[in-house]
Amino acid sequence: MSKASNAELPKSVDPYRLAEQNTVLEGVIPLSALARFRESVLGFDEGAACRVRLSFSMDSERRRIVSGELEAPVNLECQRCMGPMATTQNSRFVLGLVTSDEQAQQLPRELEPFLTDEFSADLWAMVEDELLLVLPPFPLHDRNECPAREDLEALEPDAAPAESGKENPFSVLADLKKTKH
Ligand SMILES: [Zn+2]
């Protein structure tokens, strides 16, 4: 993601007009302003912000689309050692703007509905929803970095040490995710 804009993302916009004008918005949202998100994580550095890029457009059937990406530095609680772990959460999403549940049901499956008023959408709430979706339900340090690793190895004497050179399927997955961006 481009590091260009450190300005705050507008909070309230006219989403249908932005879609008609193919507008791209880029900016940041202070994490401290997102109350639901704040309650769902261990914490974050003072002044930490979610970096966001939202691209509004209309498809051939005049559906209003928002393609977005976000990146947020956040501390989660490792569920093995219960200690803090610094992470960066990333997400890409494609939303279809709708003004009613009926419209939401008519969206093609690849579009996630975002219910909004035609003339006013809360972009911060939109981004917060996406941030909450991407948080891992069971965060864990990398095995080699977890302070509880020695306890774990004592519990599993037969477990192969990480140095064995055997490819860990999860690290492959992590690499795939990295290259996607
Ligand atoms: Zn840990």
**What is the distance in A from the centroid of ligand 1 to the CA of 137?**
14
Tens-digit pLDDT profile for residues 145-163: 898 877 766 766 555 555 5
Residue 119's pLDDT band (cuts 50, 70, 90): confident
Residue type, 68: G
What is the spatial distance between Cα 146 and Cα 167, in angstroms, rounded to a whole number? 19
**What is the distance in A from the centroid of ligand 1 to the CA of 147?**
6
Tens-digit pLDDT profile for residues 54-99: 999 999 999 999 999 999 999 999 999 999 999 999 999 999 999 9
Cα→Cα distances 134→53, 81, 90, Å? 16, 22, 7
Q: What is the pTM for the complete model shown?
A: 0.78
What pLDDT shows up at residue 148? Answer: 85
- C-alpha distance across the termini of the chain, in Å: 8
Tell me what the mean pLDDT of segment 106-133 comes to.
94
What is the spatial distance between Cα 104 and Cα 112, in angstroms, rounded to a whole number? 8
**Per-residue pLDDT at 2 exceeds 70:** no
- The environment of the single-atom ion ligand 1, i.e. residues with CB closer than 5 A, is 78, 80-81, 141, 146
Tell me what the mean pLDDT of segment 141-146 comes to.
90
**What is the distance in A from the centroid of ligand 1 to the CA of 152?**
10
What pLDDT shows up at residue 175? Answer: 55
Task: Find, among 123, 156, 138, 152, the residue nearest to 25 by Cα.
Answer: 123
